[in-house]
């Protein structure tokens, strides 16, 4: 199988020939070609972060992040293997037990990248013992709710606030299991920032941390993006 124009630079992803442009990463080229590689922290509008490790692929016997791996002519990449998918499933299970993810009652259900990726990887239960961390909900802002229980530390809101909005509303603090999302204000609450609903950071969260107030379940569950098609399938208009 091939997804490359004659004469284009190519690499092979799970026996599919993928065309790429100089400077593109494996994940960028694969996404453009509608070849799914699971990921959480990568977003096409921002430089790769490599924090979630979910997009790990195998090249020359080594596992590397597809979001940071530069595509090279003739490269042979493995992604959809039992070994890699088992590792991804385990990482997803750990993300679910590290936070408080109650999907049936979450406003983001059906639009949540974490939930959709768990389905794609065949995750049916958290498997590990749940931490049930004691995390706050910040309802101080007049228009935006922060539920820190659902944060997966993808840092997309941090980058969007800094790179696009120019406000530096968010930061990641702590180390290891103590890492957490912080609000950069004297009080530590969102009300004491200049964030608005129009900010890019307000709409980029892949899970249910940053939510607009007074808009809950405007689109009924069952009619949302991942209710119609799995995350592994591109939306209409995406792909080649």
Residue 33, domain CATH: 3.10.20.740
Cα–Cα distance, 153 to 86 (Å, whole number): 21
Task: Give me the pLDDT at residue 140, please.
Answer: 98
Task: Identify which of 135, 175, 174 has the alpha carbon closest to the alpha carbon of residue 151.
Answer: 135
Which tens digits make up the pLDDT trace of 11-52?
999 999 999 999 999 999 999 999 999 999 999 999 998 889
Overall number of domains in the chain: 2
Task: Give me the pLDDT at residue 6, please.
Answer: 55
Residues 74 and 168 in one domain: no
The rounded mean pLDDT for the chain is 93
Task: Give me the pLDDT at residue 116, please.
Answer: 97
Residues 122 and 66 in one domain: no
Residue 209 lies in a domain: yes
DSSP string, 168-183: --EEEESSGGG-EEEE
Residues 58 and 138 in one domain: no
Residues 123 and 221 in one domain: yes
CB 72 within 8 A of CB 25: no
Structural domain ending residue among the three candidates 59, 80, 101? 80
State what percent of residues in the chain have pLDDT above 90: 80
Q: Domain of 63? A: 2-80
Question: What CATH code is carried by the domain that includes residue 200?
Answer: 3.30.70.20
pLDDT confidence tier of residue 74, bands split at 50, 70 and 90: very high
Q: Which two tokens stand for residue 178?
A: 């103590």
CB 145 within 8 A of CB 138: yes
Task: Give me the pLDDT at residue 49, please.
Answer: 84
């Amino acid at each position: 199988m091939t997804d490359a124009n004659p004469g284009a630079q190519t690499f092979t992803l799970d026996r599919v020939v993928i065309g790429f442009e100089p400077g593109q990463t494996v994940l960028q080229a694969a996404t453009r070609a509608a070849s799914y590689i699971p990921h959480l922290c990568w977003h096409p509008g921002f430089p790769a972060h490599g924090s979630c490790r979910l997009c790990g692929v195998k090249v020359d016997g080594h596992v590397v992040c597809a979001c940071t791996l530069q595509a090279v002519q003739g490269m042979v990449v493995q992604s959809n293997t039992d070994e890699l998918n088992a590792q991804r499933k385990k990482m997803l299970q750990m993300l679910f037990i590290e936070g408080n993810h109650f999907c049936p009652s979450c406003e983001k259900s059906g639009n949540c990248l974490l939930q959709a990726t768990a389905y794609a990887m065949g995750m049916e239960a958290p498997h590990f013992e749940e931490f049930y961390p004691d995390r706050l909900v910040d309802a101080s802002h007049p228009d935006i709710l922060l539920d820190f229980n659902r944060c997966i530390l993808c840092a997309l809101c941090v980058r969007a606030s800094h790179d696009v909005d120019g406000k530096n509303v968010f930061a990641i603090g702590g180390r290891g299991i103590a890492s957490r999302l912080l609000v950069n204000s004297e009080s530590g609450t969102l009300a004491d920032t200049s964030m608005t609903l129009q900010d890019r950071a307000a709409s980029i969260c892949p899970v249910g941390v940053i939510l607009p107030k007074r808009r809950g379940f405007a689109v009924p569950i069952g009619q949302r993006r991942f209710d119609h098609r799995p995350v592994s399938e591109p939306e209409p208009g995406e792909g080649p």
